[in-house]
Chain A
Amino acid sequence: MLEQIKLKNKIFFTLNKVFSRSIASANTGDFIYKKLTQFFAFLVFLLVLVMGYEMYVGSKLSIDKFGWNFLVNSTWDPVKEIFGALPAIYGTLISSFLALLISVPLGLGVAIFLSELSPNWLEKPLSFLTELLAGIPSVVYGLWGIFVLVPLLRNVVEPFLFKHFGNLPFFQGAPYGFGMMAAAIILSIMVLPIISSISRDVLKSVPNSQREAALALGATKWEVIKIVLANSRSGILGASMLGLGRAIGETMAVTMVIGNRALISPSLFDPAYTMASVLANEFTEASSDLYLSSLIELALILFAITIIINVAARIFVWSFEKRWSSVG
């Protein structure tokens, strides 16, 4: 009897499967729709590959000439046609990490206040204002940097740092205002809305039962927030990584305040250069083939770094999610 039922069930499921599949394949509209959307999805992937390939072809000349030296050479001399990307890579990474150093705690603070502490009537306008920061064009940030931030750094902040922390290698040299520090601060303001708004959404998505349970056990407000934060660690990390991605690719505002010199210096007062700035500055007037090819190679490196960071962010987030799902 049991055997029979099992067999019946098996037949039923197989039939059902075959039947439903035949319906799906019989409907050409569905089929075309599926294939079309599939095609679009793969198109994105293809686009990335084509872009990478095109940049590789464009930079062939420079890759053949300089090889791996391109990555470690720190001379960028268009006249003698010696190109090395190290200062630009250094400037890009350092300015972005410094920006994160400032904006992650700040953004997290904003997010915690908005999701956990702020009264209802204040939350809406405040989150609207932080998100508004994301909508400001970067050239406006650049101008603000030149006319407000840089004079402030030159006249107040940098002399102060030099006076009190001048023996550290980070705060040496003449305080011009323009330089790594200005770039990092501008960038931190630009990535702040990304980090704060995504973190806020993440914090809000933590179920209220968690908070209520903690409160019921006698936790203080601060302890509740700690629990919420621990629950949303992966999301916050993802938000920071997205911010990093934005900072690395930012061009205009950074170009306007960073001082644009291919220089590797530990001092935050010194000018620096980022890959995006080099491209924005020099691409239009690059006339020789090798020069152009080197610029394209620089774009390729920027492209690769962006992809690596995003992939790393994903892997981080996934591994955290796994841990949390096993705990929960």
Chain B
Amino acid sequence: MKIKLFLFAAAFFALLSTLTIAQVQLTGAGATFPYVIYSQWFDLYHQKTGVQINYQSIGSGAGIRQVIEGTVDFGASDGPMSDKQLKQAKEKRGTEILHIPTVMGAVVVSYNLPSVKEILKLDGKTLGDIFLGKIYMWNDKRIQELNPGVKLPDRAILVAHRSDGSGTSFIFTNYLSKVNDEWAKKVGFGTSVSWPVGLGGKGNEGVSGLVKQTGGAIGYVELAYAVQNKLPYLLLKNKDGNFVKADFNTVSAAAEGASKNMPDDLRAILTNAGGKNSYPISGFTWLLIYKDMKDKVKAKALVNFLRWALEKGEAYAKDLYYAPLPKSVVKLCEKKIDSITVNGQRIN
């Protein structure tokens, strides 16, 4: 009996001691795409400093809403907040929202043509026409021109897209809007759009399921997902006219290319970025931070975490199939972090 009581007391104190160390608790919510690396970061950072960060991957749209409502300490999103949303947040929360890029992802276009051994090449205009339903056969003249010498089958194209709202769709449709005028006019871009043709699959696994199973299918998935599942994907023609394969280097190159004329609020959409090796469908994912915070302890913990993530955290990106930020962008982010204040005062 006594032993039991003792054990119980010991367990209780052990619990208490962990609680006292983890005084600082931060809550965040938002994007699902960076969830894997964020949870790794939060875990490592917790071990290192005792600061506990709870992150709920409820989706970018919901994350932005939580930031505007002020129910979280920070948010996360795969698409930048719109001007209207920023204004709304400022009215409700009385402070600006900073966009801090953390890692990058890319979207690749996968296809299923068992008879074609070569890796296909496409440009943005043609890709857009396929997703508009204007090109509907694989042996179309326009596809053939981009792939000289490849024997394309006389087969109907089945377009597969995401049915659920997602940052992946946002980046992909944003790219198509930049490179295909008709797409921009008819469909536009967003986390969900009204797709002119094709079938919708839920999640990356839904789209890749459609593509894998159906001969003649074409669809877009996250680079990380395609790499992990060994899906074949297209080479895409970038702004400089080169056919580029998506990998961590070409994605980082896109950020490098964009960093030269990065907007001041870092809300850059990297699609169709310039640069010889830039992969054209890549994008940042952001943490959404209040520029002026109320709670000094929390603010300090959050700022320290952000600095740590950019200095040390980036190294974990590649193992988890994310592209790390190039040095030039990290510098811009650090400058942004320096501007965070608590009740108007700078954090040292």
* Residues of chain A at the chain B interface (Cβ within 8 Å): 75-80, 146-147, 150-151, 154, 174, 176-179, 255-256, 259-262, 271, 277, 280-287, 292
What's the nearest-Cβ distance from chain B to residue A76, in Å? 6
Q: How far is B188's CA from A283's CA once the two chains are assembled, in angstroms?
A: 20
Please give, as numbers and ranges, the residues of chain B lying within 8 Å of A287 by CB-CB distance: 60-61, 64-65, 79, 82, 85, 191
Of the candidates B188, B200, B213, the one whose C-beta lies within 8 Å of that of A177 is B213
User: Within 8 Å of chain A (Cβ to Cβ): is B90?
Assistant: no
Q: Are B164 and A154 in contact (CB under 8 A)?
A: no
Please give, as numbers and ranges, the residues of chain B lying within 8 Å of A151 by CB-CB distance: 213
Q: Are A259 and B199 in contact (CB under 8 A)?
A: yes
Chain B window 195-209, contacts with chain A (Cβ cutoff 8 Å), 1 for yes, 0 for no: 100111110001001
Of the candidates B64, B79, B202, the one whose C-beta lies within 8 Å of that of A260 is B202
Q: Are B194 and A281 in contact (CB under 8 A)?
A: no
User: Within 8 Å of chain A (Cβ to Cβ): is B95?
Assistant: no
Q: Are A154 and B214 in contact (CB under 8 A)?
A: yes
Q: How far is B202's CA from A277's CA once the two chains are assembled, in angstroms?
A: 10
* Residues of chain B at the chain A interface (Cβ within 8 Å): 32, 58-62, 64-65, 79, 82, 85, 156, 158, 163-167, 187-195, 198-202, 206, 209-210, 213-214
Q: Are B193 and A79 in contact (CB under 8 A)?
A: yes
Q: Name 8 A/B residue pairs within 8 A (Cβ), A-sorted.
A: A79-B189, A79-B190, A146-B209, A176-B214, A260-B199, A262-B194, A271-B200, A287-B61
Q: Are A259 and B62 in contact (CB under 8 A)?
A: no
Counting chain A CB atoms within 10 Å of each CB, the highest count among B189, B193, B201 belongs to B201
Of the candidates B194, B199, B201, the one whose C-beta lies within 8 Å of that of A79 is B194
Which residue in chain B gives the minimum CB-CB distance to A76? B194
Please give, as numbers and ranges, the residues of chain A lying within 8 Å of B193 by CB-CB distance: 77-79
Please give, as numbers and ranges, the residues of chain B lying within 8 Å of A79 by CB-CB distance: 187-190, 193-194
Please give, as numbers and ranges, the residues of chain A lying within 8 Å of B209 by CB-CB distance: 146-147
Please give, as numbers and ranges, the residues of chain B lying within 8 Å of A80 by CB-CB distance: 188, 194
Q: Are B199 and A285 in contact (CB under 8 A)?
A: no
Q: Are A78 and B62 in contact (CB under 8 A)?
A: no
Please give, as numbers and ranges, the residues of chain A lying within 8 Å of B191 by CB-CB distance: 78, 285-287
Q: How far is B63's CA from A35's CA once the two chains are assembled, in angstroms?
A: 43
Of the candidates A78, A271, A277, A283, the one whose C-beta lies within 8 Å of that of B199 is A271
Please give, as numbers and ranges, the residues of chain B lying within 8 Å of A283 by CB-CB distance: 62, 165
* Given contacts A260-B200, A261-B199, A285-B192, A174 and B85 within 8 Å (CB-CB): no
Task: Contacts A280-B202, A286-B192, A287-B61 known; list 16 others, CB within 8 Å.
Answer: A77-B194, A79-B187, A80-B194, A151-B213, A178-B210, A256-B202, A260-B163, A260-B199, A261-B198, A283-B62, A284-B32, A284-B60, A284-B61, A285-B192, A286-B165, A287-B191
Please give, as numbers and ranges, the residues of chain B lying within 8 Å of A286 by CB-CB distance: 61, 165, 191-192
Please give, as numbers and ranges, the residues of chain A lying within 8 Å of B61 by CB-CB distance: 284-287
* Given contacts A177-B213, A262-B194, A287-B61, A281 and B163 within 8 Å (CB-CB): yes
